[in-house]
């Protein structure tokens, strides 16, 4: 199964900031974080900040898995609408999930303010809209529900949307806060660099080939014949993390993305807000600090491990067709932006769960092992929650929020 295809924006724009050695001796630590993408980096950040003896390892190099294909749209709103989530898990829990994601946006802002790199972070507004008249009423109900719980939102009807956007809108929810965007690759490296100052040890090109949970610790064997003994282990390996779980907890899609060359204006795009429609699959749009436009979507189920969609090449016909559709969409959305030209095109695996929520916490079949599996569109925000909650779990602090993200829900 091929995780990524194409020409990634973030790692093509930036040279590798730092490289780290592979493990060359046996090691003992309090917590071992497996996976050094954005999920693992956030987990390690919170642990190291708390003074925990922490080690992070990756079988590749830092940030070269799913992180480099992330569009890094940070939004309080979950893929599952609040109205629908309430029907699944109850009103109090559903609202809490939305509130936790909203808080995580501003927690990232606080973190970035302590780093040596601003990571191209910026707070944004966001627009979630319907393309069909039949979808307007449910969105109005969703908007009223969010207003009830204090989210800073307003409903735009067809006419009011015309004043702000150059593409057809039947109606939509305009959120004035609770969203942001970031460069995920720079953020991951900046988190690691900051954490090293707090005692974090980092090893690249070090693969775990066996995990042996014991009564009071975990013994892990590496591909280069060394052992790591840790009191606790955090699995933060993205889509590969589901290999440790017996139950079917996630379905995978392949999502496609194009990134334009810098454009000269953003006419027809109000405040360059983050844009997402409510189609299935949906299309999402953001800009970057270099005045590029990122558009993604056209998701496809991947099928089995030997399917065409699981093993796309960089320039296959399927990808070419998907990129053409996305580029045509973008040009039709913004006809007044006349210099739209694709520069980067890539695809990546994308996990979805039954309720749009992540899996964070302990898994009974693997004692002393924690998981931070931020499946879904809110993966980075879920990784913030994973880092915070698992740090407190290790320290013995009560975090009832873990119930929301447990495996047996």
pLDDT digits (tens, 9 = 90+) for 169-217: 999 999 999 999 999 999 999 999 999 999 999 999 999 999 999 999 9
Higher per-residue pLDDT: 73 or 2? 73
How many C-alpha atoms does 335 have within 13 Å on its Cβ side?
4
pLDDT digits (tens, 9 = 90+) for 356-393: 999 999 999 999 999 999 998 899 999 999 999 999 99
Q: pLDDT-based confidence at 54, cuts 50/70/90?
A: very high
**Residue 235's beta-bridge partner residues?**
34, 371
pLDDT digits (tens, 9 = 90+) for 135-145: 999 999 999 99
- 168 closest CA partner among 178, 157, 181: 157
pLDDT digits (tens, 9 = 90+) for 8-22: 999 999 899 999 999
Across the range 215-228, mean pLDDT stands at 96
Burial class of residue 409, CB neighbours in 10 A (0-12, 13-18, 19+): middle
Strands 284-287, 274-277: pairing is antiparallel
CA distances from 86 to 90, 101, 277 (A): 4, 16, 21
Tokens linked to 238: 């993205």
What phi and psi values does residue 262 have, to the nearest 5 degrees? -55, 140
Query: Is omega for the bond preceding 277 within 30 degrees of 0, making it cis?
Result: no
**Quick one: DSSP state of residue 79?**
S
pLDDT digits (tens, 9 = 90+) for 60-71: 999 999 999 999
Write down the H helix ranges in 294-405.
Answer: 317-333, 379-395
Higher per-residue pLDDT: 280 or 52? 52
Higher per-residue pLDDT: 395 or 305? 395
Is residue 35 within 8 Å of 64, Cβ to Cβ?
Answer: no
> What is the reported pLDDT for 218?
98
> What is the reported pLDDT for 313?
74
CA distances from 155 to 44, 160, 170, 263, 397 (A): 40, 9, 11, 29, 40
Tokens linked to 344: 């980067």
- For the cut 80, the answer to whether the pLDDT of residue 1 exceeds it is no
- For the cut 80, the answer to whether the pLDDT of residue 2 exceeds it is no
Name the percent of the chain lying above pLDDT 70.
Answer: 99
> What is the reported pLDDT for 304?
65
pLDDT digits (tens, 9 = 90+) for 298-356: 988 877 666 776 777 777 888 899 999 999 999 999 999 999 999 999 999 889 999 99
Rg (CA), the chain: 21
> What is the reported pLDDT for 51?
98
> What is the reported pLDDT for 377?
87
> What are the residues whose beta carbons fall under 8 Å from the beta carbon of 227, sequence distance 6 or more?
26, 27, 219, 220, 221
**Quick one: DSSP state of residue 133?**
G
> What is the reported pLDDT for 316?
82
- 236 closest CA partner among 406, 377, 371, 69: 371
> What is the reported pLDDT for 91?
97
Is residue 297 within 8 Å of 131, Cβ to Cβ?
Answer: no
> What is the reported pLDDT for 104?
99
pLDDT digits (tens, 9 = 90+) for 85-124: 999 999 999 999 999 999 999 999 999 999 999 999 999 9
Domains belonging to the chain, first-starting first, are: 7-12+20-70+185-248+356-405 (3.50.50.60), 122-181+251-352 (3.30.9.10)
> What is the reported pLDDT for 305?
64
Nearest-angstrom CA–CA distance, 309 and 360: 28
Is residue 65 within 8 Å of 349, Cβ to Cβ?
Answer: no
């Amino acid at each position: 199964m091929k995780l990524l295809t194409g020409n990634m924006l973030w790692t093509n724009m930036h040279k590798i900031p730092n490289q780290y050695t592979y493990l060359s001796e046996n090691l003992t630590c309090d917590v071992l974080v497996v996976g050094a993408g954005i999920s693992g980096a956030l987990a390690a950040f919170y642990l190291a900040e708390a003074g925990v003896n922490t080690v992070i390892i990756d079988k590749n190099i830092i940030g070269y898995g799913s992180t480099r294909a992330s569009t890094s749209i940070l939004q309080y709103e979950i893929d599952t609408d609040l109205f629908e989530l309430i029907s699944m898990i109850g009103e109090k829990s559903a609202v809490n999930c939305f509130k936790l994601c909203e808080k995580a946006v501003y927690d990232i802002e606080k973190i970035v303010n302590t780093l040596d790199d601003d990571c191209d972070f910026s707070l944004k507004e966001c627009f979630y809209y319907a393309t069909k008249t039949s979808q307007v009423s449910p969105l109005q109900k969703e908007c009223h529900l969010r207003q009830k719980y204090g989210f800073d939102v307003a409903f735009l009807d067809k006419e009011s949307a015309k004043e702000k956007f150059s593409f057809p809108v039947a109606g939509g929810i305009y959120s004035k806060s609770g969203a942001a965007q970031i460069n995920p690759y720079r953020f991951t490296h900046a988190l690691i660099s900051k954490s090293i100052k707090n005692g974090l040890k980092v090893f690249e090109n070090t693969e775990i080939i066996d995990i042996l949970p014991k009564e009071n610790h975990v013994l892990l064997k590496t591909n280069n014949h060394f052992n790591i003994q840790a009191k606790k282990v955090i699995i933060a390996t993205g889509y590969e993390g589901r290999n440790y779980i017996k139950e079917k907890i996630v379905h995978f899609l392949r999502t496609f993305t194009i990134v334009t060359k810098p454009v000269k204006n953003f006419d027809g795009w109000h405040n360059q807000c983050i844009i997402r429609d409510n189609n299935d699959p949906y299309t999402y749009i953001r800009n970057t600090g270099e005045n590029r436009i990122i558009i993604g979507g056209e998701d496809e189920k991947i099928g089995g491990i030997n399917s065409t969609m699981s093993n796309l090449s960089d320039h296959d016909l399927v990808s070419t067709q998907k990129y053409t559709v996305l580029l045509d969409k973008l040009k039709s959305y913004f006809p007044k932006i006349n210099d739209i030209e694709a520069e980067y095109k890539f695809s990546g695996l994308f996990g979805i769960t039954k309720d749009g929520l992540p899996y964070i916490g302990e898994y009974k079949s693997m004692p002393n092992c924690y998981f931070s599996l931020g499946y879904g569109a809110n993966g980075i925000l879920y990784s913030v929650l994973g880092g915070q909650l698992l740090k407190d779990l290790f320290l013995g602090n009560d975090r009832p929020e873990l119930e929301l993200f447990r495996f047996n829900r």
